[in-house]
Each structure stands twice: as structure tokens, then as C-alpha cells.
Amino acid sequence: GATLSLTAVGGSQYQWTGVNNFSANGDSISVSDVQLINSGKYYVLVTNAAGCTHLDSVIVAVNPKPAAATTFATTSICSGKNVQLSASGGANYKWLPATGLSSDIISNPLASPVDTIQYMVIVSNQFNCTDTAFADVNVIESPKANAGPDKSIIEGSPVQLSGSVSGQDVTYLWSPAVNINDIRSLKPIVTPPVDADYFLTVTSNAGCGFSIDAAHIFVFKDVF
């Protein structure tokens, strides 16, 4: 895959020949994207201004390049979880960055990243030739519910709850579904006749669990 460069000196004209019917002129030549079939002996016939000639040669060895591969290009995990990376195609492996990896010099490290990250693996063979591959790990934030502060009301009066949620790709609702105007609103209006607990449940649609929090409503009798 590299470029082969050959150079000769000592004359005014240069005629190159080699494997696979290779032929070229000039003191410096190059062959781009060399393959294994380009290995072999290359000859150069050098001629000076007086017409004298000399034949020289060079042996070119083209080493095989590893073919780096990973078992997946992209995967997703829940925050706090891990995933097994795996690469193949060579004899030695180097993962970059090393963030969250159990080891950065083995083919199959365990990855526990905190945030979404792209890992690159450099695969090398016995000839120290290298190739690279990539694996993206998307970290999905686990859901968290916050029902807000407890509230106090006079019997018969409404009060608004102050819920909030965090996490990626989540759904939420309140329970119980009594004396509340909208169980799917983060800030519904409730009018319980007596003390009551309202539970806010948030669920991950990506399978990263759920979270529940409660807000207590204190209901006081009016003063006469």
C-alpha cells in the first residue's frame, strides 16, 4: 500500500526493468500502492555521456499489511455499564484513547466509558506494518426522577407539583392517577382531599432502567 521509490546515480541515462514486465526511465522512479506481487529484483542500466554502461540491481521486499477489524462499528451501553471490545487482523494491538479500558494493548479489552466515545485500534503485524479500525460506544444516561419539594395546601385548594427528569430517551408519568389533571405533565395540578403521596416514575426507552421519586402533599383543614 505504500509508495516504492528507487534512485540510481552515476550516469546520464537510466533504464529500469523488473518484475511483472516493469519498465521505466529516469534516475528516480516511484511505484504507488505496491502489492506483494511487486516484490522481486529490479535492474537499472546506467549509461554515461561516453556511452559506457553499467548494470546494477536492488531486491525489493513488500511486506503484507494487516487488515484491522472490530466486531462492531457502533454500540450503545447504559451509564455505569461496560462492553467488550474486540479487534482482529494482526499480532499486536494498541487502543486509543485508553480512557475506560481494562487494557489498551490487548485485542479484547473491557470498556467502561463515562461518556460517549470513539475508540481507535492500531493493529500491527510481525513486519511492523499497521492498519487501523474504529469502534464507537454510545453511553446512554440512566433515567433519574425528581418529584420536587413537598407541598402544603388548605383543604380544597389546588397546588402545582414541580417535577423534573433526566436521562436520554425517557418517558414519565405520575401516580396515582386521582385528583391530578395530567399524569404525563412534569408540573401537574393536584387537589387531594387528604394528605397524599404522588410518585413520579421515569423509564428509559433504551432499556436503562427506571427511577421513582415522591412528593408529599400536606392537606390542612381550614381555620374557622
pLDDT tens per residue, range 188-212: 999 999 999 999 999 999 999 999 9
Cβ-Cβ contacts under 8 Å for 82 (sequence gap 6 or more): 110, 111, 112
Q: Collapsing DSSP states into helix, strand and coil, what is residue 166?
A: strand
Give the dihedral of Cα atoms 32, 38, 39, 44; nearest 10 deg.
-80
What mean pLDDT value characterizes the chain? 95
Cα separation of the two ends of the chain? 92
Distance CA 121, CA 112 (A): 16
Q: Collapsing DSSP states into helix, strand and coil, what is residue 41?
A: strand
- Write out pLDDT tens, residues 115-133: 999 999 999 999 999 999 9
Distance CA 140, CA 165 (A): 14
Give me the pLDDT at residue 18, please. 94
Name residue 119's amino acid. Y
Burial class of 85 by CB neighbour count within 10 A (0 to 12, 13 to 18, 19+): buried
Please determine, for residue 224, whether its predicted confidence score (pLDDT) is greater than 90. no
Output the pTM of the full model: 0.74
Give me the pLDDT at residue 222, please. 81
- Write out pLDDT tens, residues 14-35: 999 999 999 999 999 999 999 9
**DSSP state, 147?**
-
- The three cell numbers of residue 61 are 521486499
Instruction: Answer yes or no: are the C-beta atoms of 137 and 117 closer than 8 Å.
Output: yes
